[in-house]
Amino acid sequence: MSRAWLIGAGPGDVELLTLKAARTLALADVVLVDDLVNPEVLQFARDDAQIVHVGKRGGQQSTPQPEIVAMMLDHLRAGRSVARLKGGDPFVFGRGGEEQQALQAAGIHVEIISGITAGIAAPAAIGIPVTHRDHAQGVIFVTGHGAGEHEADWRALAATHMTLVIYMGMRRLNDIVDALLRADMPPDTPCAAIESATRPEQRHVRATLSEFVQRVAQAQLGSPSIVVIGGVASLAAPVDAMLKP
């Protein structure tokens, strides 16, 4: 009998893949893989598994979501077990909820294999805890991708005084920072941006809110990156301490 899984591949470092994810990948006949998944993760798939790359990366051309769902359903109805492999966690800005709904509507049960989301792993990779008793009593994960009617309420978010962890925010970083400053977030609020977190090519920038956009531009940081705004960003380890022996 065919089976369906939504699997989180973690933030990038293959060693941060869960044991359950690795074991489940070895069961799949077909693996549909997102762009942000480290290719090394595929070593856990069967040698005879069909690997299908389906894109899904913010700001770039991607396989349309209905097409991905249609592919999953075609394989499942043909009796093949399907693993949908996503970067991070499938239920954190990964459209996993949409895919689960589509499969359930077709009468197909799907098992969720959680992964470590970049919103926690990327800050931790440079020594930032997303919560800390002295700095933030909570953390808010938010997408920076929306605009217009889909724009986050940055004034309300600023008023929480919680850590803001922003996914897919690099293209609109200037707009986001302007909105937070207009919402009276202090200009000296610590910020950080981490690119390609947990991977060998990881880079990051730290700055105050008022200088953040300029510093990110100078460093030429791009996507995929996680942005952290709040007092906890001041706890990032010095760059020298992040160098691996």
Given 72, 168, 170, 185, which residue is catalytic? 168
Question: Is residue 245 scored above 50 in pLDDT?
Answer: no
Number of C-beta neighbours around residue 98 at 10 A: 13
pLDDT greater than 90 at residue 1: no
**Which whole number is the average pLDDT over 208-237?**
96
Is 162 designated active site?
no
Q: How far is CA 100 from CA 73, 74, 237, in A?
A: 12, 15, 39
At 14 the pLDDT is 98
pLDDT at 59 over 80: no
Domain parsing of the chain, residue ranges? 4-113, 118-242
Which residue's entry shows tokens 């920072």? 177
Backbone angles phi, psi at 113, to 5 degrees: -110, 105
Catalytic status, residue 34: yes
* Type of residue found at 75: H
33 and 50 Cβ atoms separated by less than 8 Å: no
Residue 161, pLDDT above cutoff 50: yes
- What CA–CA distances, in Å, run from 240 to 106, 200, 236? 52, 15, 11
Tell me which of 13, 56, 89, 162 is the catalytic residue.
Answer: 56
Q: Active-site residue among 34, 89, 170, 185? A: 34
Whether 56 sits among the annotated catalytic residues: the reply is yes
Convert the pLDDT of each residue in 38-55 to its tens digit.
Answer: 999 999 999 999 999 997
Pairing of strands 203-208, 190-195: antiparallel
Structurally, at CATH architecture level, domain 4-113 sits in 3-Layer(aba) Sandwich (3.40)
pLDDT in the model for residue 147:
65
| Residue 18 burial by Cβ neighbours in a 10 Å radius (0-12, 13-18, 19+) | middle
The arrangement of secondary structure in 118-242, i.e. its CATH architecture, is 2-Layer Sandwich (3.30)
- How many angstroms from the chain centroid is the CA of residue 48? 29
Mean pLDDT of the chain: 93
Question: What are the C-alpha distances in Å from 102 to residues 24, 56, 197, 198, 217?
Answer: 21, 17, 31, 32, 40
pLDDT digits (tens, 9 = 90+) for 111-159: 999 999 999 999 999 999 999 999 999 999 999 987 667 889 999 999 9
The C-alpha atoms of residue 220 and residue 239 are separated, in whole angstroms, by 17
Q: How far is CA 226 from the centre of its chain?
A: 8
* pLDDT greater than 80 at residue 228: yes
Which tokens sit at 141? 């994960």
**pLDDT tens for residues 68-108?**
999 999 999 999 999 999 999 999 998 999 999 999 999 99
Q: Are 117 and 11 in contact (CB under 8 A)?
A: yes
Lowest mean pLDDT across 175-184, 219-228, 235-244: 235-244
Scan for tokens 């899904």, then name that residue: 56
Give me the mean pLDDT over the 16-25 stretch: 98
